[in-house]
């Protein structure tokens, strides 16, 4: 083995190359995984134990020598190449602009991270849905006026195939196939047949959360909301709940936070009230639990949902929803370096 190493060392000493391709060929011949030096390393296992120390040191020295020799050949070629004088070959051909994540993605991940710390896991579902999961399982009767609250895109003129109007459909799918305890967060895109303007769009993004278990109370919901608001908007953020109506929760409420622009003192953004609405919430209606196969006499739960665009508006003061989907590079460049 030592004689073979010495012969290979002498061979490497005589190496020459006239161009970059020749240097690369020498590197492959001697230093690649199937090269001659690597072959010596593979044969090392057959060396007697008393010789392993000496042979190992010799192989390492040979590998270092081969690497230095080939690198020297490459550097010598670069130094004497008229075409490469004064050129940094490590630079890109043209300046590359630093990209950034979309502001909606940034806020979405921040919301998910907050709820993950509370033990929630992500659940996802199809955007093309059926009437049962979007409406009927969520306590919308066939003639219920609440169906008029959401203008729906129906597909193929079928009243049973539609684009989901909220991610609550994911909650009903999970409850159908999972017994409590259930603690999920459902982010996703939703669709409503609305005129596009600075304050509305035909598609937008939601994040909804669901917690179902024994003895879940409104106090659990309140603590979750308070924690979320402080983590998302700062420790000084205050919340308030106002009674509201949603078919799938009872009691229902809408949550406001103290305006993060004026600190609750009143400004044009909060219309002088000091409060800004950010989400809807409530205790899961027993009819919804029963429709999804969960015993409402044993289990209870809460649900909440928010628009990601709404939260993004509050964090970054973006006043026109259309900016989020127009892919204007000037707008997206404002978020370079944002984490």
Asked whether residue 80 falls in the same domain as residue 107, the answer is no
Asked whether residue 77 falls in the same domain as residue 147, the answer is no
User: Domain for residue 28, yes or no?
Assistant: yes
Average pLDDT, the chain: 85
- Closest of 32, 179, 187, 217 to residue 108, by C-alpha: 187
User: Domain for residue 293, yes or no?
Assistant: yes
What are phi and psi for residue 294, nearest 5 degrees? -115, 130
Local confidence band at 83 (pLDDT 50, 70, 90 cut-offs) = low
Q: What is the mean pLDDT of residues 13-31?
A: 82
Maximum Cα–Cα distance across the chain: 93
Is residue 319 within 8 Å of residue 313, measured between CB atoms? yes
pLDDT tens by residue, 295-323: 999 999 999 999 999 898 888 888 788 88
Count CA within 13 A, CB hemisphere, residue 208.
Answer: 25
- Regarding pTM above 0.75, the answer is no
Give the end of a domain, one of 26, 56, 84.
84
Query: With 60 as the cut, is the pLDDT of residue 84 above it?
Result: no
* Domain interval for residue 225: 103-335
- Non-local (6+) Cβ contacts of 271 within 8 A are none
Position 119 scores a pLDDT of 95
Angle at 237 between CA 231 and CA 242, to 5 degrees: 110
Burial (CB < 10 A; 0-12, 13-18, 19+), residue 323, is middle
Residue 134's domain is classified under what CATH number?
3.30.930.10
Position 98 scores a pLDDT of 67
Asked whether residue 114 falls in the same domain as residue 215, the answer is yes
pLDDT tens by residue, 212-253: 999 999 999 999 999 999 999 989 899 999 999 999 999 999
Is residue 190 within 8 Å of residue 205, measured between CB atoms? yes
pLDDT tens by residue, 28-68: 887 887 788 778 777 777 777 787 788 778 878 878 888 88
Q: Among 26-40, 88-102, 183-197, 222-236, which stretch is predicted with the lowest mean pLDDT?
A: 88-102
User: Domain for residue 210, yes or no?
Assistant: yes
**Separation CA 137–CA 126 (nearest Å):** 16
**In total, how many domains does the chain have?**
2
Query: With 90 as the cut, is the pLDDT of residue 268 above it?
Result: no
Note the Cα 21 to chain centre separation in Å: 43
Asked whether residue 171 falls in the same domain as residue 222, the answer is yes
Cis-peptide, bond into residue 251, ω within 30° of zero: yes
Asked whether residue 142 falls in the same domain as residue 47, the answer is no
Output the six-digit token pair for 307: 């628009």
Cis-peptide, bond into residue 223, ω within 30° of zero: no
User: Domain for residue 93, yes or no?
Assistant: no
What does each C-alpha distance from 104 to 52, 84, 121, 315 come to in angstroms? 60, 45, 20, 11
Asked whether residue 148 falls in the same domain as residue 58, the answer is no
Output the six-digit token pair for 139: 């306590």
Position 121 scores a pLDDT of 96
**Separation CA 189–CA 327 (nearest Å):** 17
Asked whether residue 12 falls in the same domain as residue 155, the answer is no
User: Domain for residue 165, yes or no?
Assistant: yes
Position 52 scores a pLDDT of 75
Asked whether residue 118 falls in the same domain as residue 53, the answer is no
User: Domain for residue 89, yes or no?
Assistant: no
Asked whether residue 65 falls in the same domain as residue 154, the answer is no
User: Domain for residue 156, yes or no?
Assistant: yes
Position 307 scores a pLDDT of 92
Asked whether residue 327 falls in the same domain as residue 202, the answer is yes
What does each C-alpha distance from 80 to 19, 29, 67, 72 come to in angstroms? 11, 24, 20, 12
**Alpha helix locations (H) across the chain?**
2-13, 20-31, 36-43, 52-79, 103-116, 131-134, 168-177, 218-233, 286-291, 308-316, 329-332
Asked whether residue 113 falls in the same domain as residue 238, the answer is yes
User: Domain for residue 252, yes or no?
Assistant: yes
Asked whether residue 258 falls in the same domain as residue 129, the answer is yes
């Amino acid at each position: 083995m030592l004689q073979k190493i010495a012969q290979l060392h002498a061979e490497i000493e005589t190496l020459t190359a006239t161009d970059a391709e020749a240097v690369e060929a020498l590197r492959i011949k001697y230093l690649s995984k199937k090269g001659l030096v690597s072959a010596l390393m593979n044969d090392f296992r057959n060396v007697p134990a008393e010789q392993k120390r000496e042979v190992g040191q010799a192989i390492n020295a040979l590998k270092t020598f081969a690497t230095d020799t080939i690198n020297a050949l490459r550097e010598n070629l670069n130094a004497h190449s008229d075409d490469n004088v004064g050129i940094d070959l490590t630079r890109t051909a043209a300046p590359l602009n630093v990209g950034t994540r979309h502001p909606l993605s940034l806020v979405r991940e921040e919301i998910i991270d907050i709820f993950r710390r509370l033990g929630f896991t992500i659940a996802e579902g199809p955007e093309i849905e059926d009437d049962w999961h979007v409406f009927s399982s969520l306590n919308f009767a066939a003639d219920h006026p609440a169906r008029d609250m959401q203008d729906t895109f129906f597909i193929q003129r079928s009243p049973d195939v539609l684009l989901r109007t909220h991610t609550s459909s994911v909650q009903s799918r999970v409850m159908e196939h999972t017994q409590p305890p259930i603690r999920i967060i459902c982010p996703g895109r939703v669709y409503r047949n609305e005129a596009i303007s600075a304050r509305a769009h035909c598609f937008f993004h939601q994040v909804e959360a669901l917690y179902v278990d024994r003895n879940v109370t409104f106090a659990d919901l309140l603590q979750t909301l308070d924690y979320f608001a402080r983590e998302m908007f700062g420790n000084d953020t205050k919340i308030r709940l106002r009674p509201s109506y949603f078919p799938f929760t009872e009691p229902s409420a809408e949550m406001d936070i103290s305006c993060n622009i004026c600190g609750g003192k009143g400004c044009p953004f909060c219309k002088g009230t000091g409060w800004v609405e950010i989400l809807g919430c409530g205790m899961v209606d027993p009819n919804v639990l029963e429709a999804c196969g969960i015993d409402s006499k044993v289990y209870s739960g809460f649900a909440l949902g928010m628009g990601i665009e709404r939260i993004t508006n509050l964090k970054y003061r973006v006043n026109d929803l259309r900016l989020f989907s127009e892919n204007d590079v000037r707008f997206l460049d404002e978020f370079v370096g944002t984490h």
